Amino acid sequence: MGRYVVRRLLQMIPVFIGATLLIFLMVNVMGDPVAGLCGERQCDPATAARLEREFGLDKPVWQQYLTYMGNVFTGDFGTAFNGQEVTELMATAFPVTVRLTLIAILFEIVIGVTLGVVTGLRRGRPVDTGVLLLTLVVISVPTFVTGLLLQLLLGVKWGWIRPSVSSEAPFDELILPGLVLASVSLAYVTRLTRTSIAENRRSDYVRTAIAKGLPRRRVVVRHLLRNSLIPVVTFIGADIGFLMGGAIVTERIFNIHGVGYQLYQGILRQNTQTVVGFVTVLVLVFLVANLVVDLLYAVLDPRIRYV
């Protein structure tokens, strides 16, 4: 088990370097960010040159990348164009998005898995058909439509919630945005769980457990669900990183100043330091989430533990 974890950790290094290099190149290909800094007016050449030097943009890309990575290992993610440290931006953005992601994941686990189990056990019944239809609708309607619609109904028409989230972004204000963010994944989790449960229900070990006379609850939770969760856990694990990075639409609708907002601003202003910094952290989140998923396999299925 220990060697397995070490091997997995070592594998993360090339992935990390490759991903950051790719992002670095992509942002750089977009062109010279200083051109947009002076508004509709052209920056005067002397100031432009000074700004370029200050942000290290006058050096070749490979050199910029090496300096950047060197700094990253000392915890220095550079400075955004508005003079703020990128680490400062991260300190305000990540807690908000982490809260939002937590709520979304909770929704996925609680509602998604429950609905999946219920429908998987009652395949073909009206409940099953109903939920299937519902998930189909959720999957096919884009997030921004769901978001704007719920915002308009709950926020403006009925006045149950505030349509936008305040700058502190406490948990209770994030419930609706979290649900909107989770909606599509939630539908997938439901469907995955349903299929997996329905498949495993006829397997030998379930029949044995029932034959042993175990209570139904114990059969479903300990035997059936535990074995059916592997694909679901994989999906949710991969989804953590996806939700954090992909929250741009939801964060924009509800005016949440999280990672999505900073990334959007960074891309719009072609701010290499912000974009690469945030993406670097997101890559790490992805990698760690994947590691946790792999470790969870071992917990769920003892056969994997000894590989």
Which one of residues 19, 36, 123, 297 is an interface residue with another protein (CB under 8 A)?
36
Distance between CA atoms of 77 and 280, rounded to whole angstroms? Answer: 10
Stretch 118-137 residues interacting with another protein (CB under 8 A): none
Which one of residues 82, 87, 114, 129 is an interface residue with another protein (CB under 8 A)?
82
Nearest to 57 by CA among 76, 39, 42, 79: 79
Site membership for another protein, residue 84 (CB under 8 A): yes
Q: Whole-number minimum distance, CB 28 to another protein, in Å?
A: 12
Q: Whole-number minimum distance, CB 67 to another protein, in Å?
A: 20
Judged by CB under 8 A, the stretch of 8-16, 83-91, 119-127, 291-299 that binds another protein is 83-91
Distance between CA atoms of 163 and 152, rounded to whole angstroms? Answer: 7
Site membership for another protein, residue 297 (CB under 8 A): no
SS3 string, 1-36, reads CHHHHHHHHHHHHHHHHHHHHHHHHHHHHCCCHHHH
Distance between CA atoms of 35 and 204, rounded to whole angstroms? Answer: 67
- The partner residues of 79 in beta bridges, in order of sequence, read 85
Q: Say if residues 102 and 258 touch (Cβ distance below 8 Å).
A: no
Please name the amino acid found at residue 26.
Answer: M
- Decide: helix, strand or coil at residue 85: strand
Stretch 159-198 residues interacting with another protein (CB under 8 A): 159, 162-164, 167
Binding mask 245-274 for another protein (x = CB under 8 A): ------xxxxx-x---x--xx-xxxx----
Number of amino acids touching another protein (CB under 8 A): 50
Residue ranges binding another protein (CB under 8 A):
30-33, 35-47, 49-51, 54, 81-84, 88-89, 92, 151-152, 155-156, 159, 162-164, 167, 251-255, 257, 261, 264-265, 267-270
